[in-house]
Amino acid sequence: MTPVDRDVLELLRNGDESELVLTPGVIAANTDWKRQTIREHLLRLSDERLVEYYDEARALYQLTDRGRRYLRGDVAVEALEADD
């Protein structure tokens, strides 16, 4: 798990507010990362089943249940690596 991955997941979680559904461009605009970097990490997070498309045609991403569990500490990083 990289700092980019963590920033993406945390932004989608949106703290104690309602979770967000965002595009790579909107995520980049709200972090210190470039859009292409965000896109690459979203693909990796999707492969790890931590995020998924909310609307693929519009490139909108959302957290998965597994992503929520990871952020709560219920899924270890080692478990993600073991799934590869």
Residue 41 CA, chain-centre distance (Å), reads: 8
Classify domain 3-72 by CATH architecture: Orthogonal Bundle (1.10)
C-alpha span between 79 and 48 (Å, rounded): 10
Residue 16, Cβ neighbours under 10 Å: how many?
Answer: 5
pLDDT digits (tens), the chain, 84 positions: 899 999 999 999 999 899 999 999 999 999 999 999 999 999 999 999 999 999 999 999 999 999 999 999 998 877 776 554
Helix (H) or strand (E) holding 68: helix 65-72
- Give the domain ranges of the chain: 3-72
Helix (H) or strand (E) holding 53: strand 51-55
